[in-house]
Amino acid sequence: MKQNAGQEAPGAKKNLLNMLPSESEELLRAFAVGHGEKPFRGSQVARHLWQSPVDSFAAMSDVPVALRNLLDAHFSMPRLTLAMRQTSNDGTEKFLFRLEDGEFIETVAIPEGSRLTLCISSQAGCALQCAFCATGAMGFTRNLQMFEIAGQVREMRLLSPPKQVTNIVFMGMGEPLMNWKAVDPALTVLNSPAGLGIGARHITVSTVGVLPGIVALGERAEQFRLAISIHAPSDELRQSLMPINTKYPLASVIEAAKVFDRRVTFEYVMLGGVNDGAEQAVQLAELARECKAFVNLIPLHPGGAGNFTPSSPEHIQWFARRLRAQGIEVAVRKSRGMDIAAACGQLRVERQRRRTPVAAEQDGNIQVA
Ligand code: SAH
């Protein structure tokens, strides 16, 4: 069954990466004791799951060989298979990972000064079908499991040289708040010192406005950040761009943003002649003021879906000024990875279209792993 892909059959090896760090450590300490070793050996092994990951039990050089062999017989630490890696002229890197059941997901690494932001996926495909989004156009296949979400960051630490991720955004494929069952524990793995140790303020969950998920995220004690994809300031327009607006109309999204006890960011993709007029600037400012939101204006990444035209950079600046004149804090997102189709879903789409190998001169800087 697809939904259960990657879950262990009875008697199969237990996946140590598909549980919370506290659970795996407890399990490994008990396992060590059960095999005549000191409990600290279990903790030693646990450190190699997330904190200093290795690609196999055999590579745990600080653990006795006999214990490594026993671990290998009882447990697994599944890797995500790197299927493609592309580097943009601006330093943005895009990774295409193949999962155990053959599904592909994308992860994008965006360097900016001393920061390295990793844009991660939460689902294979997406059910929401936003009009401009490449992932939406491919449809929904399945939810990712916890280890497949956090595993995208783990894989960065296993590259040579390893990449040290400082920030996480759930802005890859999928709707994270429609996979809360896996995203909830994945947030713990990303943030916990016994996991990947990334500060909660450096982890942003991006959503179209899935109400129960926003409530659940707000109930977590950690200061995770919330970004809401608004994209249109009226129900009529939003409805035409985002079918989910029927289920979660603007009023409910705004209500959720208001009750979320931390500052919210509005994502607003700039679609030329569609949502970038003077009237929309007034309406958007009103909504942002109502829930004290920060507004991120996103240049449309070409190659998404639909026949949209990006607003010109000058027009985006004009729109930003109109918002600022109404007291709204605004940032214009830099478009990154333009030459490698780094917008949501684009690499996977490209891969599926490109059944025949491309000629060397067209291959650009694509590295096939
Ligand atoms: N489902 C979540 C997270 C994934 S999409 C959400 O919608 O927020 C992450 C962001 O990328 C969203 O704001 C989405 O609208 C935006 N996006 C999708 N396609 C895009 C494109 N072609 N150009 C610019 N932004 C895009």
**Residue ranges per structural domain of the chain:** 14-76, 81-363
What percent of the chain shows pLDDT beyond 70? 89
- 14-76 against 81-363: fold identical: no
102-115 pLDDT, tens digit per residue, is 999 999 999 999 99
pLDDT higher than 70, residue 356: no
Residue 56 near residue 229, CB atoms below 8 Å: no
pLDDT above 50 for 357: no
| CATH of the domain spanning 81-363, picked from 3.40.640.10, 3.40.50.720, 3.20.20.70, 3.40.605.10 | 3.20.20.70
Interval 29-54 mean pLDDT: 98
Q: What is the mean pLDDT of residues 185-213?
A: 97
For ligand 1, atom 14: residue with the closest CA:
229
Q: At what angle do helices 39-47 and 65-74 cross, to 10 degrees?
A: 70
Measured by CA distance, the residue closest to atom 3 of ligand 1 is: 171
**Phi/psi of residue 162, nearest 5 degrees:** -65, 155
Q: What is the spatial distance between Cα 202 and Cα 227, in angstroms, rounded to a whole number?
A: 12
* The Cα angle at residue 299 between residues 338 and 365, in degrees rounded to 5: 5
How much of the chain, in percent, has pLDDT values that exceed 90? 81
Please name the CATH architecture into which domain 14-76 falls.
Orthogonal Bundle (1.10)
State the catalytic residue, choosing from 103, 291, 344, 350: 344
Is the C-beta atom of 177 inside 6 A of ligand 1? no
Rounded distance between C-alpha atoms, residue 126 and residue 144, angstroms = 11
Instruction: Using pLDDT thresholds of 50, 70 and 90, give the confidence band for residue 116.
Output: very high
**Residue with the nearest Cα to atom 21 of ligand 1?**
301
Q: Give the bridge partners for 170, in sequence order.
A: 205
Joined together, the tokens standing for residue 165 give 């991720």
**Separation of CA 198 and ligand 1 centre (Å):** 23
Q: 332: helix, coil or strand?
A: strand
pLDDT tens-place string over residues 65-106: 999 999 999 999 999 999 999 999 889 999 999 999 999 999
* Whether the model pTM is above 0.95: no
d(CA 283, CA 32) in angstroms, rounded, equals: 61
Annotated catalytic residue: which of 106, 148, 155, 350? 106
